[in-house]
Amino acid sequence: MSRSDFYDLLRKPVITEKATNASENGAVVFEVSMDASKPQIKKAVEELFKVKVKGVNTVIAKGKTKRFKGKIGKRKDVKKAYVMLEDGNTIDVSTGL
């Protein structure tokens, strides 16, 4: 895979209260593409950020049904990856890639 493929795989970091609590335990949360596999995510994070990854857990958050001006719509499904880093490795998600 090329470097641009890694950027397509990892869409953006997730910065929420839950993700911040996970970062205190050595995990970083990314929004990833729906067809990304755990080995692909691990390789992409190791190549882009030059860190060692201990493990990857993925979650698919189903999109909510919402109303907009009386019409019913649906938000998109989102796949998130919780990337556990080896001890001593950190990623500062507040800076750009």
What structural domains and CATH numbers belong to the chain? 3-85 (3.30.70.330)
Residue 21, helix vs strand vs coil: helix
Per-residue pLDDT tens for 18-47? 998 988 888 999 999 999 999 999 999 999
Structure tokens, 46: 């190791």
* DSSP designation for 82: E
pTM to 2 decimals? 0.85
pLDDT value of residue 94: 64
**Two tokens at 44?**
């992409």
Q: What confidence score (pLDDT) does residue 90 get?
A: 81
- Asked if residue 87 lies in contact with residue 26, where contact means CB atoms within 8 angstroms, the answer is yes
What's the rounded Cα separation, in Å, for the pair 88 and 47? 17
**Rounded to whole angstroms, how far apart are CA atoms 93 and 97?**
8
Provide the pLDDT confidence category of residue 97 given band limits of 50, 70 and 90.
Answer: low
Least confident of 27-41, 49-63, 79-93: 79-93
